[in-house]
């Protein structure tokens, strides 16, 4: 295992922050996996899973079982990790800009297509190499203007040539669920079984350019542009990426962290990154994948005290009660109901809400939403 510390640029005097990456296997070996945790810095279950995954990878490396390369970043957001207000972690948004740490990653396909379009040919493997060389050259030219951009560049640079990208997050109160782009789903289906995912949300360009879509979106967008230009150059979906939501913020335990690490390690065996004589048996799927566009974001119609009628993991029918919102001054109770059939996979941990606040998510099977599909 090699540890590399990456110093982030910071415009303020006297500030120094670094991201540390842990590297297993031979540099440049394929396939390559990139796994990071706590990009939203208050979301800590993934950090503990990364801690336990590190031990599994170190043992595999010592035993000579590493076939590919794994880059593990257990603390992906040291900037957000240091942000606190009124003794509470503020790791979702960068306080200086109010930008979400998991949005606004670069559109790499648009950036490099002009450079690669005349170089692509009939061999798909050669085309992947051409694209990745162009990506590396593009990143050299990226000049970050602030610490947030420096963090983004560092993380993108570590993952730019990965065949598999997993971004470990969690929700406020939730069951385990996964967001991924539709072209990645067949390849990632074993991971959802190993982790025991209760919901899988599929989209293609969900909006906002999250970290995982920066990498998977690159390949299908390039393929689409090649076809629009009337060419037939083969270009595979060379990277499968996902945002893995490891349940609730408060569910930080060794039992869960070890189980999540073992599931991810098992998937690395399925991917041929780790030699797999002891490859785990694939359990039955606990859910079917549904479109993110069919997911209802349940909103509060009024202000008041929030009392839930449903818990994450409940299967709801249209019209079922999700929660009550109580105004103890006016002596009124508003019942908020599901508008789709599906599993309630997440809910807020706030218990006082204002009008239009997001309070829960229900995974419906019929698409009805358009535009940006991700929350703030």
Residue 341 has a pLDDT of: 98
pTM (two decimals):
0.97
Mean pLDDT value across residues 123-136: 97
**Contact (Cβ atoms closer than 8 angstroms) between residue 81 and residue 111:** no
For the stretch 87-117, what's the b/e string if a residue is b when 16 or more beta carbons lie within 10 angstroms of its beta carbon? eebbbbbbeeeeebbbbbbbebbebbbeebe
45: left (phi over 0), alpha (psi -120 to 50) or beta: alpha
State yes or no: pLDDT of 11 exceeds 80: no
Taking only the tens place, the pLDDT of each residue in 162-204 is 999 999 999 999 999 999 999 999 999 999 999 999 999 999 9
Residue 12 has a pLDDT of: 80
Chain mean pLDDT for the chain: 96
Q: Is 45 helix (H, G, I), strand (E, B) or coil?
A: helix
Mean pLDDT value across residues 125-131: 98
Residue 120 has a pLDDT of: 96
Q: All domains of the chain, ordered by start, with CATH?
A: 2-287 (3.40.630.10), 291-364 (2.40.50.100)
Residue 15 has a pLDDT of: 81
State yes or no: pLDDT of 108 exceeds 70: yes
- pLDDT-derived band at 214, boundaries 50, 70, 90: very high
Residue 334 has a pLDDT of: 98
Cα-Cα-Cα-Cα dihedral sign, residues 286, 292, 295, 299: positive
State yes or no: pLDDT of 206 exceeds 70: yes
- pLDDT-derived band at 376, boundaries 50, 70, 90: low
For the stretch 33-52, what's the b/e string if a residue is b when 16 or more beta carbons lie within 10 angstroms of its beta carbon? bbbbbbbbbbbbbbbbbbbb
Mean pLDDT value across residues 280-304: 97
Task: Find residue 66's DSSP bridge partners.
Answer: 274
DSSP string, 320-333: -EEEEEEETTTTEE
Q: 110-117: long-range contacts (C-beta < 8 A, 24 or more apart)?
A: 110/221, 111/138, 112/138, 113/222, 113/225, 116/222, 117/225, 117/226, 117/229, 117/231
């Amino acid at each position: 295992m090699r540890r590399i510390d990456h110093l982030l640029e910071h415009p303020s005097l006297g500030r120094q922050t670094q991201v540390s990456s842990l590297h297993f296997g031979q540099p440049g070996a394929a396939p390559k996996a990139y796994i990071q945790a706590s990009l939203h810095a208050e979301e800590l279950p993934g950090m503990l899973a990364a801690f336990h995954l590190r031990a599994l990878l170190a043992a595999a490396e010592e035993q000579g079982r590493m076939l590919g390369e794994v880059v593990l970043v257990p603390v992906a957001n040291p900037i957000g990790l240091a942000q606190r207000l009124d003794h509470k972690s503020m790791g979702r948004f960068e306080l200086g800009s109010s930008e979400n740490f998991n949005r606004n990653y670069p559109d790499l396909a648009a950036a490099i297509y002009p450079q690669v379009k005349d170089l692509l040919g009939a061999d798909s493997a050669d085309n992947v190499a051409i694209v990745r060389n162009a990506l590396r050259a593009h990143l050299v030219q990226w000049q970050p203007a602030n610490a947030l951009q420096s963090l983004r560049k560092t993380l993108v640079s570590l993952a730019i040539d990965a065949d598999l990208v997993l971004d470990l997050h969690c929700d406020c109160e939730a069951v385990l669920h996964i967001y991924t782009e539709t072209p990645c789903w067949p390849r990632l289906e074993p991971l959802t079984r190993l982790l025991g995912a209760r919901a899988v949300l599929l989209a293609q360009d969900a909006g906002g350019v999250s970290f995982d879509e920066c990498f998977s979106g690159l390949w299908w967008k390039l393929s689409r542009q090649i076809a629009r230009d009337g060419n037939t150059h083969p270009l595979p979906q060379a990277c499968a990426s996902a945002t893995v939501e490891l349940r609730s913020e408060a569910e930080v335990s060794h039992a869960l962290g070890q189980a999540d690490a073992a599931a991810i390690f098992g998937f690395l065996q399925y991917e041929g990154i780790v030699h797999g004589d002891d490859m785990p048996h694939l359990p039955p799927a606990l859910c079917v994948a549904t479109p993110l566009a069919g997911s209802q974001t349940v909103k509060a119609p009024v202000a008041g005290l929030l009392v839930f009628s449903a818990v994450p993991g409940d299967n709801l029918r249209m019209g079922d009660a999700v929660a009550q919102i109580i105004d103890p001054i006016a002596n009124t109770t508003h019942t908020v109901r599901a508008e789709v059939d599906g599993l309630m996979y997440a809910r807020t941990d706030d218990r006082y809400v204002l009008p239009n606040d997001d309070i829960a998510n229900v995974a419906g099977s019929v698409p009805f939403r358009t535009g940006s599909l991700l929350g703030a």
